[in-house]
Structure 1
Amino acid sequence: MDLRTADPEASRRFYTGLFGWTVADVPAGPSTVPMFVDAEGPWGGLTQLAPDDDRKPQWIPYAEVAVLDDAVKRATELGATIARPRVDLPVGSVLVIRDPEGALIALWEPASTASPS
């Protein structure tokens, strides 16, 4: 899961106050990323929406795939469109698709299998 928000600090206060969730700055290459964490480790990102991002604040589910390019090809063959382009990070690669009904889901290829396109 990833929470896309215009105000990460306000979202952090809300969810830590509501559920008692913990947010930690998790290393991601040369920087850190705020993540919701539990005893098993990080389970969800807390991402600031870019000023030019036309989406509203929202939760985005992630689905892990073996090969991102293959999953994107199959998704588009089945009628999906690309909502946000591929981003390659030190921990893996992600691309957001919109299914034929309009729902968003992020396709995630962990770095252990990621191959830059």
Structure 2
Amino acid sequence: MSQQFVFHDVRTTDLSASRRFYTELFGWAVTDTPAGPMFGDEGGVWGGFTPLPDGDPRRPQWIPYVPVTDVDAAARRAVELGARIVKPRTDLPPGSVVVVEEPGGATLALWQPADRQ
């Protein structure tokens, strides 16, 4: 089974600095949307920025999204394998997501696209 990352969320405490860094380093285009600033290239949008307000306990980091066919089953299996749920299921127009921290401490998002629900 091959699961490739399909989206990337950049959590940042300084949105303008992060935006400038990635656009200047890689030439990514950033588009402001109702869901927040999204980035990508001529191949399309494949990531977004999540600004972390002052006092937010979350740390700045990249969070990769991995597609799954059943987000609830994948979250249960992740917990059975030693992960902990960082953010419970959230349903959005394009799909549903559960954020987990794997046993080694890395964070990833389990992503079920809406067309698989």
Q: With structure 1 as the length reference, what TM-score do the two structures score?
A: 0.84
Task: Give 1:66's aligned residue.
Answer: 69
Q: CA–CA distance in 1 between the matches of 2:62 and 2:99? A: 12
Question: Deviation of residue 50 (structure 1)?
Answer: 4.6
Q: CA–CA distance in 1 between the matches of 2:55 and 2:96? A: 21
Alignment coverage as a number of residue pairs = 110
Task: Give 2:16's aligned residue.
Answer: 9
- The alignment yields a C-alpha RMSD, in angstroms, of 1.6
Could you tell me which runs of 5 or more consecutive residues in structure 1 were left unpaired when the two chains were aligned: none
Question: Deviation of residue 33 (structure 1)?
Answer: 2.7
Q: 1:43 aligns with which of 43, 46, 49?
A: 46
Q: CA–CA distance in 1 between the matches of 2:73 and 2:105? A: 21
Could you tell me which runs of 5 or more consecutive residues in structure 2 were left unpaired when the two chains were aligned: 1-7
Identity %: 56
Question: Deviation of residue 85 (structure 1)?
Answer: 2.1
Question: Deviation of residue 3 (structure 1)?
Answer: 0.2
1:91-102 matches, within 5 Å, as 91-102=94-105
Q: With structure 2 as the length reference, what TM-score do the two structures score?
A: 0.84
